[in-house]
Amino acid sequence: MCGGVYFQHGEDVLRIFYPNPKAVLPVLTSEGTIKLIAWGRRQKQPGNLPMTGWARLDSIYAGRWDKYFPTPVKIPVLSFMEKDLEGISHWYDLQKGQYIQGLLAKEGNERRVYVVTIEPELEDAQIHSRWPRVVQKGEKSRHFIT
């Protein structure tokens, strides 16, 4: 379910894990810059946005996120971490020009980004129940493309 990411921000290379209440994700802006935005919301954190770090693609299409004015964004990371069914962490590298798709949700002044997840490919389904959606550089990010 993408429990951690590894990315470069300026001169720093950061490893961020979702359980950390200060976790942020890098988001590629329309101007081509990187902005760090809070990764989801955890229990006991203030706010009104959903308490999770992920958004299922089918729930986005079903309209469950509409009240949060969802905007698709690209999350530029070098790699992401998934835990297998036995709880063992595995890191997966992205190729140049690939991004994790994110959903930027808004309510009032609150802004948080959620990792968009999909059902894994058949061979990966034995290991992971959900997989982050990876998009290519040229894909439009204005829509949650099927």
Cβ 6 vs Cβ 80: under 8 Å: yes
pTM: 0.90
Q: What is the CATH number of the domain that holds 85?
A: 3.90.1680.10
Say yes or no to pLDDT of 67 above 50. yes
pLDDT computed for residue 30 by the predictor: 86
Q: Does 81 reside within a domain?
A: yes
Q: Does 50 reside within a domain?
A: yes
Domain of residue 27: give its range: 4-136
Q: Does 146 reside within a domain?
A: no
Say yes or no to pLDDT of 141 above 70. no
Q: How many domains does the chain have?
A: 1
Please enumerate in sequence order all residues whose Cβ is within 8 A of that of 92, keeping only pairs 6 or more positions apart, or say none.
79, 80, 81, 82
